Every structure is written in C-alpha cells, then in structure tokens.
C-alpha cells in the first residue's frame, strides 16, 4: 500500500508538468518574426496553426483524462506498474507532438534569416507554380520549403499520416543548402513537387498497374519491367521536373548523381531510385520523347563518356542492355498513360510541355536581353526553365545565373506577398492548445 500512496501523486505531478509545458507552446504567428515577403503563404499558416491547435487541444484532453483516472478510484486501485505504463504512453505521445512542432519550427524560423527568408519565400512560389496546372483536376495543398544540410532534397507530402496523430496539413519540402543558388535548385525542388503531384493524381498506383500488365506479357525482358515497376515513384517525380523545367532538370539531376563510378553503377534493392547511371539515361530518353530536341542525345553521349559501361562486369552489362532495350517502350508507355484521375488525358498532355519547349525557351530568353523586368512577367517555373536552357546553351555564366536567380527569388517572394491577403486567422483552442506531431512520414529523397 505504501507504493500506491506515493505513486499516484508522483505521476499526477508529472502529468501536470506536461500540461505546464504544453501551455507554453503558443501559435507560431505570435512568436516567429519574419518580413512579410519571407513569410509562408496565408493558406499555409492557417493550415499549420489550425492543425497544431487541434492537436494541442486533443493532447490536453488526454492529459486531463489521465489525471482524472489517476486521482480517482480506478487509478488508486491500479498497481504502480499500470499507472506508470499509462503515463509512459502519454509522455511518448507528448514527445511525438514536440517532434512535429520542431519540424514546423525548422520551416518557419529560417524565414527570419537575412537573405535565406526571401529565398524560401521565392521557392514557395516556384513550388506552388509547379502544381498550378492541376488546379482544375485536384485540390492543391499549400507548400512550404526550408533549407537543411545534406546532398538531396526531400518532401513530406500533404495529407500523409503523421507519426503522432492526424495528417500533414501542408507539403513540406526540404532543400539542400548546397544547391542554393543555381539552376540545380529548380531540378531538386520540382522533383519533390512531382512526388506531391503524383499523389494528387494517384499516378504511382495506376502506372504500377499498367507496368504490371506489361510485365505479365514479358518474356526474356521480364526483369527489366519488374525494375521499372519498382522504381516508378521516383521516375514519375523525375518526369514532372523534366516536363516543367526542360533541360535544366536533367542537368540538375547530373549535378546530384555525379559520384565516383562504383556509386553511379551500384544498384541497391532497397533504393526506390533507378541507379544513377540509368537514371540519367532515362531522363535523356524522356527529354527526347517529350521535346524532340537533340540536346538530350548530346547530353546522353557526354554522360556515357563520363561513365563508360564497358568498365562493368559482364553480368552488369547484360542488365544494362536489358534496361536499354526496354527504355524507349517504357517511356512511351509512361507518357501516353491515361486514367480517370487525369480526366483521361495522357500524362504528356497534363505536363506543361508546349510552354517549355527548348525553342520557345530560347526565344523567350533572347527577347529578355538582360531585362529582368521581362523575366518577372512570366510564371516562376517558365523563368527558371528559360534560365536553365540558357545556361545549358552556355549563354549564361554560373555567376550571372546565380545572381539572376537570387534577384528573381526575391521578386517572387515579394510578389507572392502582394498578391495574397495580408491577414490570417489563427485557429486556436480556448482551453489550451495542443501541438501536433509532424514527422515527415517516409520522406521522399531526391
């Protein structure tokens, strides 16, 4: 009985300590400073604040429920081990909610950094533009970006299950700092946007089903089709970036996967990406079939010269031949895919291909003739695609490209602020807010 006498008050005090810490977690809108151009969109802040408020209220109810149980007859009659078990589960839930808060804090705190905040505001605008063409066939979630160390980008897609409770209210894209600022940033960003687009259109499931039908008819090339099906989620994301940005998507991809030769040819069964050598070849084939421009053939030849497959073992060369033999058919199957979610249009027709043709991008860049005011008059992804095309054509130096993109990111950040309502309503709980667990469920890495 002595243990029961002391265990219940001890755990009740610990639970009240959780409540005290919970009440210190106010809305982000009241404690994260940033100039308006660096702030996330009103739709994004509303979604995040409403989600966190709902989660804080639910967690408070859980803690109050534990206190009622612990200090009442059921709790007093329970063993100390049972009391501790219930409290331990409650504390794990509390810590899970803190993880969620930290992730949103990463997104918002960087907005107060000089220069970085405006970059992120501009990247938010580019990411939103990358999904704008789907507004008639899907509900587009808010998208926010942040910078982090690491080699590749990643996304926590909107509406995915969070490790705590609830679903992610916004899409959160992590951008590697080493990609800022150059044409590679667009490639990484739009690849992650492609993952969100694929989810909105249910592309992975419908394409995987289509590939499985082709696999069932396969003979000697069956292993190749099985691999295409395994990698389809990452391939769709690469396709989205390519269809939105043109040649700069392929060049950006090369910038990410240009590694020592053993890594370029290494295929891991647990990796959803095609191995780097084939991934670049695939991007070149998609570019050829979409845009009918020889620059992708030239780029493919350069890539093969960088990493000649003749250096590989006979078994690996046989696999490469098998993948290359099915490559053209696979890309054609991909581009001509239709589904109910696409309103029975082909995937090629859904992508903004006509506005991103190399010839048109070259004419656009030539007409701007160094006048950045003209660059500001087009959609962010069109401007990025034209700049990337000019860089690929050696008409723009890396320094000039970086300077131009920095100026445009600042402009897009400011323009986004001026074209959205300034105010936002913070959804909060009168009793005590609750914080939600926002861990990026299985981030998709570039």
Residue-level pLDDT at 443: 45
Report how far residue 348's alpha carbon sits from residue 291's, in angstroms, rounded to the nearest whole number. Answer: 10
Handedness of CA 67, 68, 72, 75 (dihedral sign): negative
CA atoms within 13 A of residue 220's CA, in its CB half-sphere: 5
Q: How far apart are CA 411 and CA 405, in angstroms?
A: 10
Q: For position 95, what pLDDT does the model report? A: 84
434: region left, alpha or beta (phi > 0 left; psi from -120 to 50 alpha): beta
- Residue pair 28/104 in contact by the 8 Å Cβ criterion: yes
Rounded to whole angstroms, the Cα distance separating 435 from 167 reads 13
Determine if the peptide bond prior to 181 is cis (ω within 30°): yes
Query: How many angstroms separate the CA atoms of 429 and 23, rounded?
Result: 11
Give the burial string for 85-114 (b: 16+ CB within 10 Å, else e): ebbeebeebbebbebbbebbbebbbbbeee
**Locate tokens 């704008």: which residue?**
132
What six digits make up the tokens of 307? 């990493």
Predicted local confidence at residue 32, as pLDDT? 65
Query: For residue 115, what are its two tokens?
Result: 């220069």
What is the rounded distance in angstroms from the CA atom of residue 365 to the CA atom of residue 372? Answer: 10
Contact 53, 428 (CB under 8 A): yes
Q: Are 150 and 175 in contact (CB under 8 A)?
A: no
Assess contact for 387 and 402: CB atoms under 8 A: no
pLDDT of residue 196: 96
| Residue 163 confidence (pLDDT) | 65
CA dist 314 and 103 (Å) reads 46
Residue with tokens 């089709």: 225
Predicted structure pTM score: 0.84
- Give the list of residues 6+ apart from residue 368 with CB closer than 8 angstroms, or none: 374, 375, 386
Low-confidence ranges of the chain (pLDDT < 50): 1-4, 421-443
DSSP 129: H
Q: Provide CB contacts within 8 A for 96, sequence distance 6+.
A: 163, 164, 437, 439
């Amino acid at each position: 009985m002595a243990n029961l006498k002391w265990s219940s008050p001890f755990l009740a005090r610990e639970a009240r300590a959780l409540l005290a810490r919970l009440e210190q977690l106010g809305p982000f809108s009241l404690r994260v400073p940033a100039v308006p151009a660096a702030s996330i969109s009103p739709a994004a802040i509303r979604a995040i604040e409403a989600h966190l408020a709902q989660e804080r209220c639910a967690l408070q109810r859980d803690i109050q429920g534990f206190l009622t149980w612990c200090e009442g007859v059921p709790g007093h009659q329970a063993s100390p081990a049972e009391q501790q078990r219930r409290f331990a589960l409650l504390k794990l839930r509390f810590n899970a909610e803190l993880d969620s808060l930290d992730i949103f804090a990463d997104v918002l705190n960087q907005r107060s950094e000089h220069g970085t905040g405006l970059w992120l505001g501009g990247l938010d605008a580019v990411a939103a533009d990358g999904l704008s063409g789907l507004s008639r066939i899907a509900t587009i979630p808010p998208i926010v970006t942040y910078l982090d160390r690491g080699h590749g980008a990643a996304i926590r897609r909107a509406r995915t299950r969070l490790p705590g409770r609830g679903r992610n209210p916004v899409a959160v894209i992590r951008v590697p700092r080493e990609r800022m600022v150059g044409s590679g940033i667009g490639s990484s960003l739009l690849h992650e946007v492609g993952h969100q687009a694929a989810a909105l259109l249910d592309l992975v499931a419908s394409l995987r089903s289509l590939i499985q039908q082709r696999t069932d008819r396969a003979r000697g090339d069956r292993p190749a089709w099985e691999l295409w099906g395994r990698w389809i989620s990452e391939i769709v994301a690469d396709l989205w970036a390519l269809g939105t940005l043109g040649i700069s998507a392929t060049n950006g991809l090369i910038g990410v996967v240009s590694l020592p030769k053993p890594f370029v040819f290494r295929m891991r069964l647990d990796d959803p990406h095609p191995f780097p050598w084939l991934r670049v070849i695939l991007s070149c084939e998609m570019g050829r079939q979409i845009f009918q421009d020889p620059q992708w053939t030239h780029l493919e030849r350069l890539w093969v010269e960088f990493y000649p497959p003749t250096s590989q073992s006979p078994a690996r060369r046989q696999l490469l031949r098998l993948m290359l033999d099915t490559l053209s058919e696979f890309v054609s199957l991909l581009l001509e895919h239709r589904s109910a979610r696409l309103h029975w249009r082909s995937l090629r027709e859904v992508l903004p291909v006509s506005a991103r043709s190399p010839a048109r991008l070259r004419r656009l860049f030539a007409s701007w003739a160094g006048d950045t005011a003209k660059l500001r008059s087009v959609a962010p992804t069109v401007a990025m695609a034209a700049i990337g095309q000019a860089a690929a054509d050696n008409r723009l130096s890396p320094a000039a490209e970086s300077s131009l993109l920095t100026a445009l990111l600042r402009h897009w950040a400011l323009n986004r602020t001026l074209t959205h309502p300034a105010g936002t309503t913070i959804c909060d709980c009168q009793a005590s807010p609750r914080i939600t667990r926002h861990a990026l469920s299985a981030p998709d890495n570039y």
